[in-house]
């Protein structure tokens, strides 16, 4: 038995049009899953990458400007075995200047949408007495405060907490709920930091590995948590951070 095989599984990956979500979608497909690639914009580029490796997937639109959009989508997607909650946004401003809209927008996408999408997924599994895997994308800011990103920090602390409570409630039902906390990965969300020579230097000097991470570094961990190899892993938040939190 190949513990890491996802043959015959159907996976939904949110925020799969670019960056970490795209890399996860491609690797889940490489492991054998049929991947539903969801984004607020088309994920056709991701599907093309999946087809390039001889695997299968499709692009669907889920816009979490409506945090209940994932619930509606799951109701029409048929059987699912794996859910990767990767979709997320970030807004940057000093906490003294932070707006209510920037607070609500981030919390709606990063936390409210994640919870209710996962709830809908679990209800489907429980109704058919099936096992499944949930992989949430947390953050180093699930553990730390960060700078100038108050709603993002609050939302990612929330992701860590939600991961644990859902693991507590659903582990006995055969549903694994875990999370990955990426370090500083070269994606759209960190572009502003990478473009700031002072902040970029400060960040790199703190990372024992000495480099920014790549989306592919997160993808393998997502495959592991989605596979039978992680059947006894519940409520974990795995750091993939080049050693940042060990410093």
Catalytic residues: 152
Residue 151 contacts residue 107 (beta carbons within 8 Å): yes
CA distance 144 to 147: 10
CA distance 245 to 142: 11
Burial 152-179 (b: 16+ CB within 10 A, else e): bbebbbbbbebbbebbeebeeeebbbbb
Of the candidates 51, 141, 46, 128, the residue with the CA atom closest to the CA atom of residue 84: 46
Residue 16 contacts residue 42 (beta carbons within 8 Å): no
DSSP helix/strand/coil, 82 = strand
The alpha helices in the chain, defined as continuous H runs, are: 19-30, 44-52, 69-75, 100-107, 113-127, 150-170, 191-195, 197-206, 215-226
Task: Give the DSSP H or E segment for 237.
Answer: strand 237-240
- Number of other CB atoms surrounding residue 126 within 10 Å: 14
34-39 sheet: strands from edge to edge: 57-61, 34-39, 10-14, 82-85, 132-137, 175-182, 237-240
DSSP code, position 172: G
């Amino acid at each position: 038995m190949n513990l890491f095989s996802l043959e015959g599984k159907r996976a939904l990956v949110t925020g799969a049009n670019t960056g970490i979500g795209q890399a996860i979608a491609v690797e889940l497909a490489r492991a054998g899953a049929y991947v539903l690639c969801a984004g607020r914009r088309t994920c056709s580029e991701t599907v093309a990458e999946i087809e390039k490796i001889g695997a299968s997937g499709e692009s669907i639109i889920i816009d979490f400007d409506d945090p209940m959009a994932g619930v509606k989508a799951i109701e029409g997607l048929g059987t699912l075995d794996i859910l990767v909650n990767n979709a997320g946004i970030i807004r940057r401003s000093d906490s003294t200047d932070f707006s209510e809209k920037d607070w609500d927008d981030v919390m709606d996408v990063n936390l409210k949408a994640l919870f209710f999408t996962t709830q809908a997924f679990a209800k489907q599994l429980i109704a058919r007495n099936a096992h499944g895997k949930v992989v949430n994308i947390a953050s180093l800011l699930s553990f730390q405060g960060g700078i100038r990103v108050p709603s993002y920090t609050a939302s990612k602390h929330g992701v860590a907490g939600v991961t644990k409570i859902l693991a507590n409630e659903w582990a006995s039902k055969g549903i694994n709920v875990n999370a990955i906390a990426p370090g500083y990965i070269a994606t759209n969300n960190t572009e502003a930091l990478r473009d700031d020579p002072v902040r970029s230097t400060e960040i790199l000097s703190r990372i024992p590995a000495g480099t920014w991470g790549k989306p592919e570094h997160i993808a393998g961990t997502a495959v592991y948590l989605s596979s039978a190899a992680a059947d006894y892993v519940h409520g974990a938040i795995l750091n993939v951070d080049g050693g940042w939190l060990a410093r």
